[in-house]
Structure formats: C-alpha cells, structure tokens
Structure 1
Amino acid sequence: MNQILSADRTLDATGLSCPEPVMMLHQHVRDLPAGGLLEVIATDPSTRRDIPKFCVFLGHELVQQDEEGGTYRYWIRKKSD
C-alpha cells in the first residue's frame, strides 16, 4: 500500500502524449527548490518508462508511483544541490 505524500507542487499532464509530459516535468523540477517534492499526474502509459529513466538520468528520487484506472501518479523529490 502506498503512503499519502504531500507534494510541494503538482504537474497535471493528463491527456498529453510523449514527449510532452517529460518536457513539462523537466521545467517543473527546475523550478522546485532542492529537496522539493513534485507530484506528476499523467495518462500516457509511456510515462511508466520515461519518468523513472528521467529520474535516474538526472539524479532525482522517484519516491513513489502508482496507477489507477489509466491514471499514473509519480512523486519525485528533486536532488539536493
């Protein structure tokens, strides 16, 4: 069971297709303070692959992810500088 996380900001990328969610994610993470938590809501199944890769590549922490009824949610903690 997933814990309830309180995000500093939320990115709603529902209805958008690759590569838009990840492009928007990149901008939103850039605007967060170090250690900030961003919740991403998406409907594109490719985000299940793309968002974890984004986090690994840039060093951010994918704290949690889940899927319910075709909606994918990700909680990403921005790396400390």
Structure 2
Amino acid sequence: MQQIDVTGLKAPLPILKIRRALSAMAHDDVLMVVADDPDLVMVLPAFCEQAGHRLIMARQNGPCFYFELARGGATQKNTPHAFLQHAS
C-alpha cells in the first residue's frame, strides 16, 4: 500500500496529487490518502467514480481524513457519507 499526504493543500491540489499517484500504480493497488481539507469528502468519491477508481474506506480522526483508494475498476457507486466513519 502506498501513502500520500495532502494535508495543508486545498482544492484542486489534493485531487491533482492523488491522480498523479494513482497513475503510477498498478491496477488494484491501494493508495492511502491523508488530508485535512473537508471539501475532499465530497470531491473524492466523484473523482473516483469518474476516473474508474474505487473508494474502499473513508474515516475522520480529529481534523484529518483518511481514505483508501484502489486503482481502476470501480464496482460500486462512491458516495461520500456512505463511507465516512468517525474515529471514536
């Protein structure tokens, strides 16, 4: 699993960096994304669906959001709040 940290970045920079990281990965490889931009919760699922990637997991812990994406082959509708889990 690869990881990318886009904390401190605001749209559209996180998506551009995520797109670049995913393009360098093999099909079905997983990318862990760490972010602190709350807009990414809404934008990332739409990006995944449009680009054909799969949003596996999204959770929030304090001010940070953690996402796991699988490159290629979206098999389900990626909706933002269906995945977002808050850490206890």
Name the TM-score, length of structure 1 as normaliser.
Answer: 0.86
1:23-80 per-residue CA deviation (whole Å, 9 max, x = no partner) reads: 0000000001111000000000100011111101011110000011110010000015
Aligned partner of 1:12 in structure 2 is 5
**Structure 2: 5+ residue stretches without partners:** 74-88
1:37 correspondence with 2:21 = no
Find the aligned partners of 1:33 and 1:59 in 2 and give their Cα distance.
Answer: 13
1:58 correspondence with 2:81 = no
- Percent identity over paired residues: 25
**Structure 1: 5+ residue stretches without partners:** 1-7
The count of corresponding residues between Structure 1 and Structure 2 is: 73
**Larger RCO (CA under 8 A, 6+ residues apart):** 1
Runs of 4+ in 1 over 2 A off after TM superposition: none
SS at match of 1:28: helix
Name the TM-score, length of structure 2 as normaliser.
Answer: 0.80
Question: RMSD in angstroms over aligned alpha carbons?
Answer: 0.8
Partner AA of 1:65 in structure 2: A
Partner AA of 2:17 in structure 1: M
Partner AA of 2:5 in structure 1: D
Aligned partner of 2:63 in structure 1 is 70
